[in-house]
Amino acid sequence: MMLADAISSATSEHAVYFLVAAYVESLHHFHRSLGIPERVIALPLAGLDDLEERLRLLGDGLGSTRQPVMSAAEMTAILECALARLHDVANQQGAADDESETRAQPPDGYADREKR
């Protein structure tokens, strides 16, 4: 799945949300035939919790006979991939922030030496 590959290699949260929003928007052209709940393909996206809720709604409906399994499975795969990547990007950003804070801190005792 090429979209999942693009999401997996996205370098920022913005890129992940852009790709997911473009995918969701593409579903609007034939949403009635998908059988996916309207809430799952509603725009705009409202962050990580919103994506998790959409994934939950999809999971709740997978047992339904009205819902075509292929579109639900595809949408589930895209949302799972996006959530995983968003967590990875956040962890990478957190590690980078920690590293920059460490570099910005003067060595222990430095302030004491400067006062002398």
Tens-place pLDDT, residues 67-106: 555 578 889 999 999 999 999 999 998 877 776 665 555 5
Q: Cβ(3)–Cβ(19) under 8 Å? A: yes
Q: What is the largest CA-CA distance in the chain?
A: 79
Does this model's pTM top 0.85? My answer is no
Q: How many CB atoms lie within 10 A of CB 20?
A: 23
Contact call for residues 67 and 84 (beta carbons, < 8 A) = no
pLDDT band at residue 113, thresholds of 50, 70 and 90?
A: very low
pLDDT of residue 114 exceeding 70, the answer is no
Average pLDDT over residues 42-70: 80
To which H or E segment does residue 54 belong? helix 48-61
